[in-house]
Amino acid sequence: MAKNRARTAYVCTECGAEHMQWQGQCTACEAWNTLSRVSVGPIKEPGLGYAGTQSQVKRLSEVEAEDTTRLPSGFAELDRVLGGGLVPGSVVLIGGDPGAGKSTLLLQVCTRLALDVPVLYVTGEESLHQLALRARRLGLPTGELAVASETRGEEIAALVEREKPGVLVLDSIQVMQLASVESTPGSVTQVRETAAFFTRLAKQTGTVVIMVGHVTKEGSLAGPKVLEHMIDCFMMLDSPAGSRYRTLRGIKNRFGEVNELGIFAMTEHGMREVANPSAIFLQRGELDSPGSVVTVTWEGTRPLLVELQALVDGVQSGYARRVAVGLDQQRLAMHLAVLHRHCGITLADQDVFANVVGGVRIGETGADLAALLAVLSSFRNRILPKDLIVFGELGLTGEVRPVASGQQRLAEARKHGFRLAIVPWANRPKDVIPGMTVHGVKSLAGALDVIASL
């Protein structure tokens, strides 16, 4: 029988690729002098599988598929992004910029959860005194929450074995370390091995492990890309500059919808849920201006009304610029080409700027038509009706293609007082919507004809 011994491997600090021996260049990413030695040893008994049980082969029909009871976090917006709550044995990673409110949100969640289940909050970046001061400033109940200040993974595992928490919070994964890994905390190798250690721990004990992750200056999660693959749920907490609102978006979720969005407001008493996020992003100015259109984007499982703004101005620097914030810049340039090819309107000598108000990023195609109509509104200096809603995907042949959940989008717009709508022909409602006039269009030229008649 093979002994349960640790083995030595060499891991690239740039891409995380593993090599059997040291060499000057990583064969995966071709980076030089990036291999570091790692002592890899099992954290479970020999002969046991990933989840700490004997490996067995079963027919899929023999596997029990009972619904798992989720733990509600106490925040409906967070539960929405999670897919209904925390799943026992799952690993959740929440990332975001410094000061976005990751630790504040988790501290609020933990103090609420601790009233029902054992919770262990492990901080590696703050002292327990700092943690207690924050909790007191936020007015949180702290009587049931267990806390510890530790960065050593082996010691934290011992605390889990002794305390047996239902939820374990690691703040943050970048400062955690394993004694068996010869690398500094925060390095690619250390983050990779530490995350794998706690992932196995979660599966073996059934504990919910929540990791806090930092982001790089490019806005991506710091550490190896494999970190996002091994966890069950990955969320990003965004904090638009100068805004007190925070958007929590689900990037990956094995137990719920992807791209689900939760809205919070940062106050002096911590994070507060925003019950009606559409009302926030529709705080338009009192003066009507050209270049403004409201669209309904679909975020996860709900519609969200946002304002699109565009500014078209003559070229100032010798070549036309295309700048988009919150939208796909390449897609905007493509639609300007569609506008020229199928409607005869050229903006080759114009700078085009587009922005989504409120710091929201739109990743779906339902905002195509609205973005282009906002550009035309600014170009022609024509104010569009304030009670107009627009959505639809734009094809390269100039057709307006239908989008998913069109009826729910119209219902959301009607609820907020919109009385005019330009939508794809296939998204026209079967029944008349009281108080709303819906124009179904088949092409971009048809949408321009509707605008001209308003």
Last residue of a domain, one of 221, 245, 275: 275
The Cα 222–Cα 97 span in angstroms is 11
- Helix (H), strand (E) at residue 333: helix 329-343
Q: Which of 250, 275, 300 is the last residue of a domain?
A: 275
**Is 56 among the domain residues?**
no
CATH of the domain at 424: 3.30.230.10
89 three-state secondary structure: coil
Query: Rounded to 5 degrees, what are φ and ψ at 281?
Result: -80, 0
Same domain flag for 318 and 439 = yes
| Separation of alpha carbons 194 and 167, rounded Å | 18
In this structure, the answer to whether residues 139 and 101 fall within a common structural domain is yes
pLDDT of residue 69: 87
Does residue 50 form part of some domain? no
- What's the pLDDT at 44? 45
Domain count of the chain?
Answer: 3
What pLDDT, on a 0 to 100 scale, did the predictor assign at position 286?
67
411 in the same domain as 339? yes
Same domain, 107 and 248: yes
**Is 2 domain-assigned?**
no
> Considering the domain boundaries, does residue 48 fall inside one?
no
Instruction: Give yes or no for a contact between 151 and 124, defined as CB atoms under 8 angstroms apart.
Output: yes
Q: Nearest-5° angle of CA 205, CA 68, CA 59?
A: 85
The reply to whether 256 and 157 lie within a common domain is: yes
CATH assignment of the domain containing 175:
3.40.50.300
- The two tokens of residue 155 are 């010691």
Same domain for 164 and 286, yes or no, is no
Q: Do 44 and 204 touch, CB atoms closer than 8 A?
A: yes
Cβ proximity of 390 and 422 under 8 Å: yes
Q: What is the pLDDT along the chain (454 residues), one digit of tens a residue?
A: 444 455 677 877 666 677 888 888 888 778 888 787 765 554 444 445 555 556 678 898 888 877 778 999 999 999 999 999 999 999 999 998 888 899 999 999 999 999 999 999 999 999 999 999 999 999 999 899 999 999 999 999 999 999 999 999 999 898 999 998 877 888 777 888 899 999 999 999 999 999 998 876 666 665 666 788 889 999 999 887 777 889 999 999 999 888 898 999 999 999 999 888 887 777 666 678 899 999 999 988 889 999 999 999 999 878 899 999 999 999 999 999 999 999 999 999 999 999 998 878 898 999 999 999 999 999 999 999 999 999 999 999 999 999 999 999 999 999 999 999 999 999 999 888 999 999 999 999 999 999 999 8
What predicted TM-score, i.e. pTM, was given to this entire model? 0.79
Tell me the residue range of the domain where 112 lies: 71-275
* Cα dihedral 352, 357, 359, 365 sign: negative
Same domain, 415 and 310: yes
Rounded to a whole number of angstroms, the CA Rg of the chain reads 26
- The backbone torsions φ and ψ at residue 25, rounded to the nearest 5 degrees and listed phi first, read -125, 135
Domain contains 60 = no
Residues 139 and 249 in one domain: yes
**Sheet with strand 292-299: strands edge to edge:** 322-325, 350-356, 302-314, 292-299, 388-390, 420-424, 437-441
For residue 317, whether the previous peptide bond is cis, meaning omega lies within 30 degrees of 0, is no
Residue 401 lies in a domain: yes
Task: Looking at the structure, tell me whether residues 149 and 192 fall in a common domain.
Answer: yes
Count of positions (residues) in the chain? 454
